[in-house]
Structure 1
Amino acid sequence: MKKKSVMLLVLALTVVIGLLPGCGNSSGSTDGGSGKNKNTTVKIGAAAVPHAEILNHVKPMLAKEGINLDVVVLDDEDQLNPALQEKQIDANYFQHLPYLKSVAKEKGYNFAVAGKVHVEPMGFYSDKIKSKNDIKNGAKIAIPNNSSNEYRALALLETEGLIKLKSGIANYSATPSDIAKNTKNLQFEEVDAAQLPRVLKDVDGAVINTNLVLEAKMDPNKALFREGSKSPYANIIVVRKGDENRKEIKAVVKALNSEDVKNFIKKKYGVAVVPAF
């Protein structure tokens, strides 16, 4: 009996030891059983088009490096910066630097730019006219009502010779009140950017961000004119200050700046989206 009891005790101890943490291979481990899981999840909030589509394209590439890319699309893009501030996401990808600067100053965000990916050339669209020369005196033009994109729209109209802005405008901020010369007496409607495709039928033309054009299933080739490829409004990967040095974030930016992504953007979006790297 004593011998049998000893054998049972040894068997019980063997089972218990085998169940202790670290004594066997972890099911989530990718490092040969050291107990450390090399897989890292990076959560990025993004606009639906083209940002989330581009991020989803690099998912397999990053998975090979042990990075699980979690792409989060919010109905309200204005919540992507608060989500980053509140650490609900690790980064966001939906905005350009002038916009970031304007909201960061207002909201007190302590963010950093980890990299730039693409430019969506803002364009002038119309359901009523076929060329810039058809814009009549007193034409009603819709433009975005947020500060940086409003300046951007007015700057495009200035480049095309339709208006002249006051000199000395700083911080990429301007409204119709900053127009110094308006020979065609254009009438401006300041509209929430997301609503611009919907109001197009009610105005003579509108200056619209390309991502909104794509979301509305409009043809970006129908822009009467658009920004050039050297626009300063590249869409960027934004993180909390200090996180731009995280190896996972650097890996994401590297993937987004790859030749593979450049070819993907050109093939999928044509003139609507231009690589910025």
Structure 2
Amino acid sequence: MKKWLTTGFILLIIGFLAACGSNDDNSSSEGGESKEITVGATAGPYSDMLKKAIIPNLEEKGYTVKVIEFSDYIQPNNALDNGDIQANLFQHTIYLENFAKENNMDLTALITVPTAPMGIYSNTFDSIEDITDGATITIPNDPTNAARAFNTLQDEGLIVLDENADPLTVSEKDIVENKKNLEFQPIEAGQLPRSVESADLAAVPGNFALAAGMDLLTALALEEMLDSYRNVVAVKTENKDDQLAKDIVEVVESDAFEKVIDEEFQGFGKPEWMN
């Protein structure tokens, strides 16, 4: 009797340990990576993009995903670097590379996603063709977004830029022809949506336009963005070849992702790889 009781107890312990092992397997992906992840974004359209277009498809792959929303452009990369989150979506490549260099971080852009473009908005004119001589236009006062504004104005035929100037760094001094004698008024990007009330025109980056409740499709013109200005999903460089990174890329490249973009994010410019 003692022998049978001992044998039964041992089998019970083995069964318990096997069950624990099974539970551990269920919380990990291939190679032992955790299937419980946290991703970060700034509150607004890119948090929405995570929730509507990316996370549902990651959940189908067995992930449990928590989203943290940040209110600034500094903490998402700090959280990524120290391991509090496994990926983030809020920044373009130029910002990512500069931030990582200045803060001694090793971060990598995993894949580029559709991004809200800068728009030329006006309560004064109904079209680009209606713009009159000497019209005022507010533009971002930071060099990166100002360059985007000048490139957009050139694309719309309003100015001509020095052909030798770097498109990523062009400024007002690179204008060789100002066809409408536009008067430029640099202000902080966050104030640009409100400036539509006081200036004839305003060059408003897409994220600030959406945050202010503006409709991208009401702009007189939308930016033909360089991919360097499109937002990316970023990870720590040491994790860029992990299964999670591969799964994120697969999700973003899927037809299901593009379908949500076309339905829910109208006006967003798609990166070159999607075209």
| Distance in 1, Cα, partners of 2:115 & 2:199 | 26
Alignment map for 1:133-152 (pairs within 5 Å): 133-152=129-148
Alignment map for 1:108-147 (pairs within 5 Å): 108-147=104-143
SS of corresponding position for 2:210: helix
Of 230, 241, 248, the residue aligned with 1:252 is: 248
Match of 1:26 in 2: 20
Alignment map for 1:78-97 (pairs within 5 Å): 78-97=74-93
Alignment map for 1:189-268 (pairs within 5 Å): 189-228=185-224, 233-268=229-264
| Distance in 2, Cα, partners of 1:32 & 1:239 | 24
Match of 2:44 in 1: 49
SS of corresponding position for 1:271: coil
SS of corresponding position for 1:138: coil
SS of corresponding position for 1:169: coil
Name the CA shift for 1:108/1:196 in 2 (closer, same or farther; >3 Å): farther
Return 5+ residue gaps in structure 2 as ranges: none
Match of 1:156 in 2: 152
Percent of aligned pairs sharing the same letter: 30
1:232 Cα offset (Å):
5.2
| Distance in 2, Cα, partners of 1:33 & 1:126 | 52
TM-score, scaled to structure 1: 0.80
| Distance in 2, Cα, partners of 1:177 & 1:167 | 13
| Distance in 1, Cα, partners of 2:207 & 2:103 | 24
SS of corresponding position for 2:263: helix
SS of corresponding position for 1:242: helix
> Which region of structure 1 is more displaced relative to structure 2, 178-187 or 25-34?
25-34
SS of corresponding position for 1:129: coil
1:117 Cα offset (Å):
1.7
User: How many residues are paired up?
Assistant: 267
> Is residue 2:35 matched to residue 1:40?
yes
Q: Deviations over 1:225-274 (max 9, x none)?
A: 11247765332111222321111121122112210110111011222453
Q: Deviations over 1:132-167 (max 9, x none)?
A: 133233322122233322211110111112222234
Name the CA shift for 1:38/1:237 in 2 (closer, same or farther; >3 Å): closer
RMSD over aligned CA atoms reads 3.4
| Distance in 1, Cα, partners of 2:101 & 2:167 | 11
> Which region of structure 1 is more displaced relative to structure 2, 252-261 or 203-212?
203-212
Name the CA shift for 1:25/1:102 in 2 (closer, same or farther; >3 Å): same
Q: Which amino acid aligns with 2:37?
A: V
Return 5+ residue gaps in structure 1 as ranges: none
Structure with higher Rg: it is 1
Match of 1:184 in 2: 180
1:21 Cα offset (Å):
11
Name the CA shift for 1:223/1:172 in 2 (closer, same or farther; >3 Å): same
> Which region of structure 1 is more displaced relative to structure 2, 156-165 or 57-66?
57-66
TM-score, scaled to structure 2: 0.81
1:128 Cα offset (Å):
1.9
| Distance in 1, Cα, partners of 2:104 & 2:195 | 33
**8 Å contact from structure 2 (residues 151, 167) kept in 1:** no
**8 Å contact from structure 1 (residues 213, 219) kept in 2:** yes
Name the CA shift for 1:144/1:157 in 2 (closer, same or farther; >3 Å): same
**8 Å contact from structure 2 (residues 27, 34) kept in 1:** no
SS of corresponding position for 1:95: strand
Q: Which amino acid aligns with 1:66?
A: G
